[in-house]
Amino acid sequence: MEEANGDLITLILAAGKGTRMHSDLAKVLHRISGRPMIHYVLDTARALRPRRIIVIVGHQADAVRRELAGSTGLPESHGPPESPGPTGPTGPPVEFAVQEEQLGTGHAVRQAGPLLAGESGVVLVLAGDTPLIRPSTLASLIQAHRRDGAAASVLTAGVDDPTGLGRILRDGAGRIDRIVEEKDATEEQRALKEINTSTYCFEPVLLLRALNRLSPENRQGEYYLTDTIEILRREGHRIADAPAGTPEETMGINTPEQLSAAESWLLERDRARPRDG
């Protein structure tokens, strides 16, 4: 990106265990082409030149912090988990929030509440297990969010097989009404092919207010970040959306097979990139 986003705060969710990876290693530390996947997401966040980057850690929090310290110039020991390190040449310091219990994505973002208090501008929420997402795709989402003056915006994708993914529900005018997780969806809703990519923009004050209204009344007993979309819409706020450039780039890594597929896709994308000279 050519210009800095002085009002942009990027929030990266990196607290998950990743039980389907069949490893005790934190999901975001699994490697793609020799690098932990969290670095790909962090590189993409930095390409947008945000004012702040906050990473929410949980499972193996110390290991994730140490990994990010090694990549950003932060010292191995830099105070409490929530403390930022020194500013380096690669962008703003990485700040940390801690999710002690795994109670869902909404609960995870809520842990960053103290760091977001009093903020304005745009909060971009990224999943730490989506290493293929491109800066240009995120820039389009941010542009749509600002253009529409939205309270929240969602990056969507159309896929052939939406199994396991949240579905986008739209109203009669084609606007996003809410997002339903597959475990809570009806058979008719599961037939939908437009999915939530777990990538969002929010207005900070409205996000924090919506997070406080979340309840774990669903089959997983978790606080879903997706529920903030319905909360804000029912309050009369505008919800915007933008499509991903390609469905592949929104792939979340949950299994060793998906990890291998992501590596192949990254290699293919790199080979297709024009070379100078």
Tell me which residues are annotated as active site: 20
Q: Indicate the pairing of strand 31-32 with strand 5-14.
A: unpaired
The greatest distance separating any two alpha carbons of the chain, rounded to the nearest whole angstrom, comes to: 57
d(CA 72, CA 86): 9
Computed from CA positions of residues 57, 60, 64, 66, in that sequence, does the dihedral angle turn out positive or negative?
positive
Residue from 49, 246, 16, 9 nearest 129 by CA: 16
Which run of H or of E encompasses 59?
A: none
| DSSP state, residue 88 | B
d(CA 175, CA 28): 33
Computed from CA positions of residues 170, 174, 177, 178, in that sequence, does the dihedral angle turn out positive or negative?
positive
d(CA 73, CA 46): 14
3-state secondary structure of 240: strand
CB count within 10 Å of CB 219 equals 9
Q: Which two tokens stand for residue 71?
A: 């990549």
d(CA 57, CA 99): 6
